Chain A
């Protein structure tokens, strides 16, 4: 789960990670009020969406008067912001963050993520703030300092020294401030079960202070049960409604741009099914894992969600029945076709325990739309043919 910049900064503030002062606003009027409250004579109006690259997309603007704050907030609120991370459809801006202007001397990068190979969090820092870290990693990896922190000992001064010397920070006072900054950020990461934190840019002010000018946080979904305060920050409008609906029924769904709907048990086999369709010359319309308990209700829900996509020309149901026997799944699928109006060909491949009985059930049911398949290759081939025939 991800949160907005303003929410990440609220969390930072709780842990003493310094940020510029700011106030979130839903309307231009609120933006004006926020600017008055913050005081000063320069403000930044920032679109709040869950995607990077907002500045380049026109979602972050500098205002030099209250009137300008109002005007810019009016422009940004309600705009559909397109960045390299939103996809071409963009994202609707519903909130802006009004922030006091900052005296930027240097722009740095600081992030914390899980290093899967080391199996511990790694702090990444770079002098190339403001740039996409992926790009820096590709073009000049030597400019990224990586320091893994063993949770058993936590953030120690030597971790901090590795960071500041790696970044070339020489002023002792600045070294101390940066080390404290990183240490606090590590605490945020651990305490909140974050999956990633990214501050890009982290700025050094003219006075030699470090401030989080941006803030991005993602959380481990499996740990949200112990963080109701994070769960409360969830912005449903940032999530795909179909993915969300599927999740409520225990289905894992991701829309793609092809023509063959897929319904599969197990994430690996679901990806493998997409790959096989592609290999056979077709295009998968979605990823859908119905989980371990494929029954009439979950399959019916799956059909419903898949068929919301108007591009779907055929559906490939690929189930490997293990402990759940195939004959029971076959009956479930037949029942599901009665619950939902399935107007495209449905290719059904059931393999595993009691596969032969299942094949018989499907054959005897004699539903014109339901085409049985003998194995994965056969099913994928038939699905690709059905989709082509439907054109």
Chain B
């Protein structure tokens, strides 16, 4: 009895404390600093002596990093668009959004009234903006390409199989999620590979059925034999996770026949698949919707490509369509958009790579996707496909403090990022960084290019 009572109280304590620790409720966070402040003042007035507990509290408060943005227009993406509000962040997380937010004295402040605040953009594939796999071991946090990525509004990017932040100047908080996907290859060019893959899936499925049978048998017979699982390692383990819905698969498929094959695989084994490419997705949208697959699209082909993808020999709709994103979205298929070139190129062909992720989404609008949906394809929907939407992709209390603060509509062709914020730190400031500071420095689109820079040769005067 005694033991049981102790256990109960212990459970009770745990259940009470756990939510307090885990929830990260903004209210106590918000209240704490003000309370601490008044207490601290009282302490100073009362007596020089302070007990250990209060010392600790003081220290804790000092370490907290507050950052507040006075924002003009906040495009939360998942909620209403807000005007003239303050966003308060603490230690890289959003803790409060509102018209009358009490900002701690020591908070870093940014006056962005008149500017648009969007969640930081998510690039579902990239190279160069953060290091290669594993990014926390290979990222140059002062790299030019990271800065250019930030100038393009990107705060989260995928490298290899890891999602990471463009944490300029620090490695802190760089990795968001590792092992994003299980890489699936089920190509018709390798029939043998396909058969082997199906065999693996079948073996795991058989094991899962055996487990169920075993669970039933064990109720009747205590000595029932557990199915052998020593082989359930490596790839099998991943497939097991895949079939239990704990992992998502990713595969490249552009043509309709490939897409349909992956749809069939998804339905056959009850797995979730993200299709990269999905060029001809618009020809089989219902099929994709039924199979519950998601898609990562590029709206335009790569440069130097004269290939429209249309094959006139085929007696059905083929090739690339500008309406791909709109059609898939209409069928409820989650989509993320990324340019076909996912690196930072510096050779001058503009608007086709990660320098202009937002423009690729703008081309989806051309094909009929709504502007709101287009914005989602590079923010929350992209985050959802990566399974990191609890952290990034929208402006909500409790989420990461990643913002791109622009001088206009983010889908407009003249909009620049004025500041890009990652984990509650200003990672890019257009006017402090030499790259674009000469282009419309005050955000005025009608202003002629300023005379701040002219080479020393062939001067007019």
The finding on whether chains A and B are genuine partners in a shared complex, rather than unrelated, reads: no
